[in-house]
Amino acid sequence: MSTSANLRTSLKRMTDDLAKLIVDTPIRRLNRSGGVIMVCPDYYWGDRNAQQVNAQMQLKRVFDGWLERLKISFKGAPDDIQHKLDEAECNFRIWVEFDNNWQLCPDRSENERRMRLKANAFDKILDILDAGKSNGIIIVPDTNAIIKEPDPVQYRTLAGANAFKFLLLPSVLSELDKLKNLHRNPDFRDKAEKVITRIKGWRKQGTLSVGVVVDQTIQVQALHNEPNMKSTLTWLDPNVLDDRIVASLLEIQASSPADRVILVTGDINLQNKADAAAIEHSEL
């Protein structure tokens, strides 16, 4: 699933959960008697039970995490797009937070409809990501995966296609160099050395940072830039290799939102972090 499709699916799930909460929550009318002029909506949310409050808390956390991923996808976008994104967030968050809401009315079904209209603003923003050119599938191995299987041809079954991009991260290349020199197991050092030799062989075929073609349909490319850890998910630690890999995957998704990006890893901790960042992963 592409990044934009994943974001859209998550948005629909959030909107459906919020709709149920809105329909179940009572609405009260403000009592304006007493001659006091109050500038506030005529209707407000009634009391919710503990279960409803808990559901709202969970929904808010999901929305905040989803919004972080969406904003990463639009990092560097023109100011008018950023303005639309900020406006969509403000209008939808009012419903998520159950704040004072000028659109609130006594008809719960109508409240659901109005909330869904605000969610549609995100759908229109996601249309921008869908409009980008799709190159298909991007396979990104971690260090252990590429040591286990350095031949991109062997990833075709995982990709489910003959043609795909095989992307090498700078953090993975750096770790390969360290393992080649410092790993205590000489057999493992030899494996790392063989992978590096293969990568240098690809470099002789052309500019690896641009991409070289392997077996007619596979494009092997090496990224040169480390991820910007100041503008990624807040819970990622720049000093942790797995976190930098996740941040790199998020930047790849942002630059190719219509593509399917697959992290190849057998590392259970990295798989767990990929799940938290909604990054598709697989293992050989």
Q: What is the pLDDT of residue 197?
A: 93
Q: What is the pLDDT of residue 188?
A: 80
Q: What is the pLDDT of residue 80?
A: 94
Q: What is the pLDDT of residue 38?
A: 60
Under CATH, domain 137-282 is a member of which superfamily? 5'-nuclease (3.40.50.1010)
Give 254-257 contacts, CB < 8 A, sequence gap 24+.
254/3, 254/72, 254/73, 254/74, 254/75, 256/3, 256/132, 256/134, 256/135, 256/138, 257/2, 257/3, 257/4, 257/73, 257/129, 257/130, 257/132
Q: What is the pLDDT of residue 114?
A: 96
Q: What is the pLDDT of residue 36?
A: 58
Question: Domain coordinates of the chain in residue numbers?
Answer: 3-130, 137-282
pTM comes to 0.84
What is the chain's pLDDT, residue by residue, as a tens digit (284 residues)?
Answer: 888 899 999 999 999 999 999 999 999 988 766 655 566 788 889 999 999 999 999 999 999 999 999 999 998 889 999 999 999 999 999 999 998 889 999 999 999 999 999 999 999 999 998 887 776 999 999 999 999 999 999 999 999 999 999 999 999 999 999 888 767 788 888 889 999 999 999 999 999 999 999 999 999 999 999 999 999 999 999 999 999 999 999 999 998 888 999 999 999 999 999 999 999 999 98
Q: What is the pLDDT of residue 270?
A: 96
Q: What is the pLDDT of residue 39?
A: 66
Q: Are 107 and 115 in contact (CB under 8 A)?
A: no
